[in-house]
Amino acid sequence: MFSSLSDNLDKTFRNLRGVGKISEKNISDALREIRMSLLEADVEFNVAKEFIANVKEKAMGIEVLKSIKPGEQIVKVFNDELTALLGGDAVPLDLNPPAHILLCGLNGAGKTTTAGKLALRLKKDGRRPLLIACDLYRPAAIEQLQTLAEQVGVPCFAPEAGEKNLVKVAKQALAWAKDQNGTVLIFDTAGRQEIDDKLVEELKELHKFVDPNETLLVADSATGQQAVSVAQHFDEAVGLTGIILTKLDGDARGGAALSMRQVTGKPIKFIGEGEKLDQFGVFHPDRLASRILGMGDIVSMVEGAAEKIDEKEAMHAAKRMQSGKFDFNDFLEQMNMLRKLGPLDGLLGMLPGFNKIKKQLPTEALDEGRMKRMEAIVLSMTPKERSRPELIKGTRRRRIAAGSGNTMLEVNRFLKQFAQMRKMMKSKGKMKDMMKQLGGMEGMGDMGDMKDLLGGGGGGKLPKLPF
């Protein structure tokens, strides 16, 4: 998401940074390019127009024109305005118990999955969520919600088969909820391919009866400018209190995310960035703005790691790596920890400057399938071989290749890369240098050796790593 917009903005700002003195013409030329980039990214026309006007007004200020680094100041102005466009600060849910949350949206936006994700997040926050199935048109949606409820460990109310009275179902659900000791009720409603009168009337009736604390529109980030009109229609019908953007990990242009907050005046409260139930988080406008501008999102990256990775396991792995005793058992543990953080592409995308080198990386560096093949190689080894990699010679390699479904060439390459990695780890000096390069570079602007670390570059300071 936003990759095309990020690339275009990076090119424009790179040209601005190279200018010794900022003039009105410099700014006008740059903003013209930025406006085209926003429109190409599906940002609503009036939103783009107003946004550019605000940036120009601030960019033409005296402080910017007299700045020692005018190009950097323009980037800061753009970042501040982009953050404001997205809402400024994160907006929490109104969870005054017993809280009622009504989810609405079109078919395919991910309402049911979002209901399960929201329930899991609220449960982790110490709440007692309950899921209520109010999609009376799709039995599969009710079954899906029940399955999700079981996965996250929360109670779920399902209506009787054939029931079509939505208010009656809601009344039964509220009576059921009194015996469940829940503090938050999440209502999953029906959707359509497009907004129609019947859908709106049913939602109005349900909304009036439930009287929710929060009425949240679940919107697919890939919908484009249509998502803006959909948000307006739902807001007029039931009075939205917020928006949840789904599929933010996709490859769509993402302009809806930049338009919906401005057009509706309703905050984006959560975002979904993957299919897994835990790939769901609070929306932070400043962090998304930084990611769009290629500045990364280290805070979210650290928060995700702290939440999903056991600190003792991480410390144990670090000591093993530093001691040079790293074996294939440790490798599997590292793979599992990395998998908990989500897709590798999305994880690395949070690093500052990663977008600048992404296209230079070999395709295999970000290939999830390659990681699975490497895991298959290790799982085809005996326990003794995993603990003592030096035992793996010719006949053993042929057996491992056959067992893992890989060729001998692939197995040999993997073992060679693993041996190089172990050799590097035995040198404390090189280890310190690597950590410094990954974590201590000021601003991490150009991510100089990341290409080598991920398996590219060839001939760089670090050997190719097998993961």
- Let me know whether 330 and 239 are in one domain: no
Would residue 322 count as lying in a domain? Answer: yes
Token pair of 464 as six digits? 């190719």
- Let me know whether 14 and 48 are in one domain: yes
Bridge partners, 133 (sequence order): 188
Select from 234, 20, 15, 205 the least CA-distant residue to 106: 234
Q: Report the number of distinct structural domains present in the chain.
A: 3
Annotated binding-site residue? 109? yes
Where a domain ends, among 295, 325, 341? 295
Annotated binding-site residue? 190? yes
Would residue 21 count as lying in a domain? Answer: yes
Annotated binding-site residue? 249? yes
- Let me know whether 114 and 250 are in one domain: yes
CATH number for the domain spanning 249: value is 3.40.50.300
308 within 8 A of 341, measured Cβ to Cβ: yes
pLDDT value of residue 85: 80
- Let me know whether 76 and 136 are in one domain: no
Q: What is the pLDDT along the chain (467 residues), one digit of tens a residue?
A: 456 666 767 777 766 666 656 677 777 877 888 888 788 777 778 888 888 888 888 777 655 555 556 566 777 777 788 888 887 777 888 898 889 999 998 888 889 999 999 999 999 889 999 999 998 888 888 999 999 999 999 999 998 887 888 999 999 999 999 889 889 999 999 887 777 788 888 889 999 999 999 999 998 877 766 777 888 888 888 889 999 988 876 555 566 667 778 788 888 899 887 788 888 888 887 777 776 766 544 444 445 555 555 666 666 666 666 666 778 888 887 777 766 666 555 555 555 554 554 555 445 545 567 778 888 898 999 999 988 888 888 889 999 999 988 889 989 988 888 887 777 766 654 545 544 544 443 333 333 333 333 344 333 333 333 43
pLDDT value of residue 308: 55
Which residue reads 């409820």 in tokens? 149
- Let me know whether 276 and 345 are in one domain: no
- Let me know whether 136 and 233 are in one domain: yes
User: Which residues form the domain of 436?
Assistant: 303-453
Annotated binding-site residue? 395? no
Would residue 458 count as lying in a domain? Answer: no
Annotated binding-site residue? 189? yes
Would residue 91 count as lying in a domain? Answer: no
Where a domain ends, among 273, 295, 317? 295
- Let me know whether 67 and 187 are in one domain: no
Where a domain ends, among 85, 116, 140? 85
CATH number for the domain spanning 320: value is 1.10.260.30
Annotated binding-site residue? 306? no
Bridge partners, 189 (sequence order): 134
Task: Please name the residues in contact with 280: beta carbons below 8 A apart, sequence gap of 6 or more.
Answer: 114, 117, 118, 120, 121, 270, 271, 272, 273
Longest dimension (CA), the chain: 74
Annotated binding-site residue? 106? yes
Would residue 129 count as lying in a domain? Answer: yes
- Let me know whether 80 and 130 are in one domain: no
pLDDT value of residue 464: 39
Estimate the share of the chain in helix, then strand, then coil, as percent rounded to the nearest 5: 60, 10, 35
Annotated binding-site residue? 191? yes
Would residue 23 count as lying in a domain? Answer: yes
- Let me know whether 63 and 186 are in one domain: no
Q: What is the pTM of this model?
A: 0.63
pLDDT value of residue 83: 82
pLDDT value of residue 206: 92
Distance, CA of 271 to CA of 448 (rounded, Å): 31
pLDDT value of residue 315: 67
CATH number for the domain spanning 79: value is 1.20.120.140
Annotated binding-site residue? 105? yes
pLDDT value of residue 348: 55
Annotated binding-site residue? 42? no
| Residue type present at position 134 | C
Would residue 287 count as lying in a domain? Answer: yes
- Let me know whether 331 and 367 are in one domain: yes
- Let me know whether 338 and 381 are in one domain: yes
Annotated binding-site residue? 111? yes
Would residue 459 count as lying in a domain? Answer: no
77 within 8 A of 58, measured Cβ to Cβ: yes
- Let me know whether 277 and 331 are in one domain: no
